[in-house]
Structure 1
């Protein structure tokens, strides 16, 4: 299945699900007709809609479709790309999508606002290797900034304010002996960040692949790997549904979870196939596609790293209170 959105041409579609935080005020669960609830009418496969963004993180689900893992479970996936992650959480809550993908911090923010969500399976993790992860902080080659501590007092671009990329950047700055409260964050779409760094509009930028590779190919230096240095097993993203859908369609949720976990394992075991599938749902340039660093796709959720992200969000005042993870996680 080809998604028409371009990785390089549609900036808002490229925001990690961290862009969700600004749209988490929708309440209630909609979608009661059989088609919306994914009920097969003729004994055929159950059709479910999945809200995603066309980024590297979701390669396993497309690979799983190609490999027939969802078909084997009796599921037919309708992949729906959002104009940015902010639409996915309320889309799942309202019943527009039966499942969705989001970064972990956005789900924590949603849970703290009592939105009725339920994580069903893992999504994407850090590789755990500094300098070899799918997210990092870049500066111009001749910048005086050498370590994360040097970001204090500087202008740093992120794709979304007050979310996973700011909290993890704050963490690595703090750990390096700097004061993250002195950072001036600027919100820019990922595709615009390398140019802003190169042009001096900001002093540094936090980017994810493929923009991390693009920035390096333009001669920029990576001075910190904010995901890997926050936690080597950092759970960056998760797949989820609404509590209502999970309660009414437990068998469908279990089948989706099983197929998704098989897809995650296959992607981890076959990285070149995961790399190749990118061209089926993005328009990433071949040279960049070959060079990008793929994330890690473990089958299981790293609960400890989710708890750490919750604590960091609380420390940075993204949350008023730590959410009940037993209600959010499987």
Structure 2
């Protein structure tokens, strides 16, 4: 008798669990339908109504600018937090925590080499006559050449990204061996404290760009050992990525995102600097994240080489070749043309 009652109770629990699971599925399905309906009710036919992303303290990204200018509508941006690391930002896209993220192209190549299902869709930062990074030493530093960096420490904002690739390329070009390069230590230091760390002689070289570089130069006592622009000239250095799955399921939303971002890049490129800075300042003040807008006062240019963020083969091939030389990739393992697409960019017809 006891066994019968136990079995009866088990069946009851199982039926209850099944009912709850079904109800949960219906709720989730209903939410998905509502989200799709919300995305399409204006007649745009977009598959989603919002894009999740990570921001950066005290700065404005081109998708954020596009949103403020009205280019992104009816798509909306959903801010989920900040990041200072490009590799972390694009890994969040792979894990599904965000819908888009951006990183240095060398970091994108490394992630693609690891079979990550992503594709670059638009360039968003780079190096030009006004926007670049210098690798600074103190004026009384004994470091005069790449050879002098053996056994020394260089501060970077994160590993596996723009600064690391540029530094190692500088060392390679100077003829240092692989063993000698291993003796140059890269130290992760928050960008806002990098100058202070250099002046305290806790590091030997500091990577400085933008407001951090300009304000440090105003205080004097430092000079660049080399600059990224010295090595590569003007080039787009980083791209936003979407997952292959997102592009396949949401082609209209993907196109809208790229089109809006491309237009925002061109707006910033062709609008007087003072107006761009004023717009950035307003965006930061209005979003209410308790952040200082001082950094955008030093904004100078987009740094993006291609019109509207168009991507060029060489912007990936440079880093594919570099990783082959490093032994991270095999010759022919990746082809630059397969890693990105310009198909969603409204300026694609103007690509050289």
Q: TM-score, normalised by structure 1?
A: 0.76
The answer to whether the 8 A contact 2:54-2:83 is kept is: no
Deviation string, structure 1 residues 251-279 (Cα, Å, up to 9, x no partner): 11111111111111111112333333443
The answer to whether the 8 A contact 1:190-1:208 is kept is: no
Cα distance change on mapping 1:88 and 1:59 into 2, 3 Å: closer
Cα distance change on mapping 1:41 and 1:294 into 2, 3 Å: closer
Cα distance change on mapping 1:256 and 1:295 into 2, 3 Å: closer
Kindly indicate whether residue 297 of structure 2 is the aligned counterpart of residue 290 of structure 1.
yes
How far apart are residue 155 of structure 1 and its match?
A: 1.8
Cα distance change on mapping 1:190 and 1:37 into 2, 3 Å: farther
- Equivalent residue, structure 1, for 2:22: none
Cα distance change on mapping 1:94 and 1:36 into 2, 3 Å: farther
What secondary structure sits across from 1:143 in the alignment?
coil
Cα distance change on mapping 1:68 and 1:243 into 2, 3 Å: same
Cα distance change on mapping 1:295 and 1:38 into 2, 3 Å: farther
How far apart are residue 55 of structure 1 and its match?
A: 6.2
Gaps of 5+ in 1: 1-30
- Equivalent residue, structure 2, for 1:105: 106
What secondary structure sits across from 1:34 in the alignment?
helix
Task: Give 1:121-160 correspondences, 5 Å limit.
Answer: 121-127=122-128, 129=129, 132-148=130-146, 150-160=148-158
Deviation string, structure 1 residues 137-172 (Cα, Å, up to 9, x no partner): 111132233455643443211122343211211222
Task: Give 1:198-217 correspondences, 5 Å limit.
Answer: 198-217=199-218
Deviation string, structure 1 residues 200-223 (Cα, Å, up to 9, x no partner): 111111133332223223322223
Q: Greater CA deviation, 175-184 or 94-103?
A: 175-184
Q: How far apart are the structure 2 equivalents of 1:191 and 1:259?
A: 31
The answer to whether the 8 A contact 2:55-2:81 is kept is: yes
Aligned-residue Cα RMSD (Å) equals 3.1
- Equivalent residue, structure 1, for 2:96: 95
- Equivalent residue, structure 1, for 2:4: none
Q: As a proportion of its length, which structure holds more helix?
A: 2
Cα distance change on mapping 1:144 and 1:170 into 2, 3 Å: same
Gaps of 5+ in 2: 1-27, 342-352
